[in-house]
Amino acid sequence: MRRALMLIPFVIGCAKTETAKVDSATMAPPVAAALTETDVAGTWKGTAMMAGTDSVFAHWTQICAAGTCKGTTEGAKDTVVATYMLMADSAMGTSQPYTNPAIKGGKVTDSWTLHLKDGKVSGTGMLSLASKPDSVVMRYRFEGSRAP
């Protein structure tokens, strides 16, 4: 019996080694290319919808360059200035306080995050009272494309 037990380490040591299979579900997804200023710079046009709906409440135009966007909305007289930062595959921006005629209660700021893909822009945003930066007046989503 002892001789048989002595063979076990030899049999185990000589066993065929198998390569572990890679589970593709646990692999990291491909990383999107980082945005550059060239990707964001230019004139963009699109629509904004209230969060959770498909109802368009605004048609907008943004002219962006060097970390600043100047935006207008159809029917509004004012130009809203925002600054943005590139953050890997997206950009985040915040407007200067401005008066939005549709919102009673003073000036608001607009904070947004955008993603670019295949010449299209999409993202989400939030309006807050300028006097209460932690407030949420409205959440929205937007989409658009580079203007010709």
Backbone φ and ψ of 73, nearest 5°: -125, 140
CATH of the domain at 103: 2.40.128.120
Q: pTM for this one?
A: 0.75
**Per-residue pLDDT tens for 11-25?**
445 555 566 566 666
What local confidence, expressed as pLDDT, does residue 74 receive?
A: 93
**10 — pLDDT class (breaks 50, 70, 90):** very low
**Which comes out higher in pLDDT, residue 23 or 38?**
38
Contact 48, 54 (CB under 8 A): no
Residue 26 pLDDT exceeds 70? no
Instruction: Give the SS3 label for residue 61.
Output: strand
Q: What percent of the chain has pLDDT over 70?
A: 80
Q: Domain containing 104: what range? A: 37-146
Element holding 148 (H helix, E strand): none
Q: Does the residue 73 lie in any domain? A: yes
Give the ranges where 2-141 is alpha helix by DSSP (H): 2-13, 37-40
What local confidence, expressed as pLDDT, does residue 11 receive?
A: 47
**Per-residue pLDDT tens for 86-115?**
999 999 999 999 998 777 768 999 999 999
Q: Does the residue 6 lie in any domain? A: no
Range with the poorest average pLDDT among 32-36, 55-59, 87-91, 121-125: 32-36
Q: Does the residue 16 lie in any domain? A: no
Q: Does the residue 127 lie in any domain? A: yes
Q: Does the residue 41 lie in any domain? A: yes
43: CB partners within 8 A, 6+ apart: 61, 62, 63, 64, 146, 147
Mean pLDDT computed over every residue of the chain: 86
Residue 13 in tokens:
């040591």
Residue 83 pLDDT exceeds 60? yes
Q: Does the residue 109 lie in any domain? A: yes
Q: Count up the domains in the chain and report the number.
A: 1
Residue 76 pLDDT exceeds 90? no
Contact 46, 141 (CB under 8 A): no
